[in-house]
Amino acid sequence: MRRLALVVATLLALAFPVATAAVTGITVFAASSLTQVLPKIDPGPRYSFGGSDALALQIRNGAPADVFASASPVQAKTLYREELVLRPQVFATNRLTVIVPSGNPARIRSVFDLRRRGLKIVIGDAQVPIGAYTRTVLARLGVAKAVLKNVVSLENDAKGVVTKVVLRQADAGFVYATDARAASKRVATVQIPPRAQPNVEYSIAVVADSGNRGAAQAFVRRVLSATGRTQLRRAGFGVPAQ
């Protein structure tokens, strides 16, 4: 019986390697807001984190990536139409929030306070997901014109926004809720009304020219697995219904 149990265990391990072994030998291009969570899901790949639009451009220019994980479906869908990635899948969701330096020196209590003259606000560039989502929030609240007048810096990704606020180079910034959570010891948050929240979805896809497609597909399966979904939830992301 012990020998039979050992054989069964071995066969199960071979059949489901994604659940037990790290996926190595691949490069994953991923949105900066995934910096903390993806290595916890799988520490094996080489990660390159950055703005989703910049990473998409690198793939378009032939960068050696195997998997692309973007903070918006737009970039992945565009690459798919160009036949540069396989069909993308949504694997996580997020929300936006406003962050202020610890202690909130500008005394910002609501999003509407960001219209106040003299404030220094930092947001993402319009071409990157966090910037596009931010502009959606401002438009839905009817404060875009007034708030954008206070913008002093446009960043290439959400991490850039966090950095400026942490360093007190800005009074406030718009980031993903997961970024605010990761920096909670150095920033405070100001909630965005639910009616203004954009539909933030993350997409993942295997790069069509991947030289290690099997491992790339195994990584995607790992992210979509129960283990991956658990880690995403722990990091503050939402996960789509299966």
Based on the fold, state whether residues 163 and 225 are members of the same structural domain: no
The dihedral region occupied by 241, where left means phi > 0, alpha psi between -120 and 50, and beta the remainder, is: beta
Based on the fold, state whether residues 229 and 210 are members of the same structural domain: yes
Based on the fold, state whether residues 128 and 147 are members of the same structural domain: yes
pLDDT single digits (tens) 95-148 = 999 999 999 999 999 999 999 999 999 999 999 999 999 999 999 999 999 999
Based on the fold, state whether residues 116 and 59 are members of the same structural domain: no
Residue 70 falls inside a structural domain: yes
Residue 157 falls inside a structural domain: yes
Instruction: Kindly report the CATH number assigned to the domain that includes residue 48.
Output: 3.40.190.10
Long-range contacts of 20-26 (CB under 8 A, 24+ apart): 23/215, 23/218, 23/219, 23/222, 24/215, 25/212, 25/215, 26/66, 26/67, 26/210, 26/212, 26/215, 26/216, 26/219
pLDDT single digits (tens) 54-110 = 999 999 999 999 999 999 999 999 999 999 999 999 999 999 999 999 999 999 999
Domain around 185: 96-196
Based on the fold, state whether residues 180 and 145 are members of the same structural domain: yes
Based on the fold, state whether residues 102 and 68 are members of the same structural domain: no
Residue 60 falls inside a structural domain: yes
Based on the fold, state whether residues 58 and 142 are members of the same structural domain: no
**pTM metric for this prediction:** 0.86
**Could you give the number of structural domains in the chain?**
2
Based on the fold, state whether residues 121 and 56 are members of the same structural domain: no
pLDDT single digits (tens) 194-204 = 999 999 999 99
Residue 187 falls inside a structural domain: yes
Based on the fold, state whether residues 132 and 64 are members of the same structural domain: no
The mean predicted confidence, pLDDT, of the chain is 92
- For the record, the structure tokens of 152 come out as 């002093």
Question: With 60 as the cut, is the pLDDT of residue 4 above it?
Answer: no
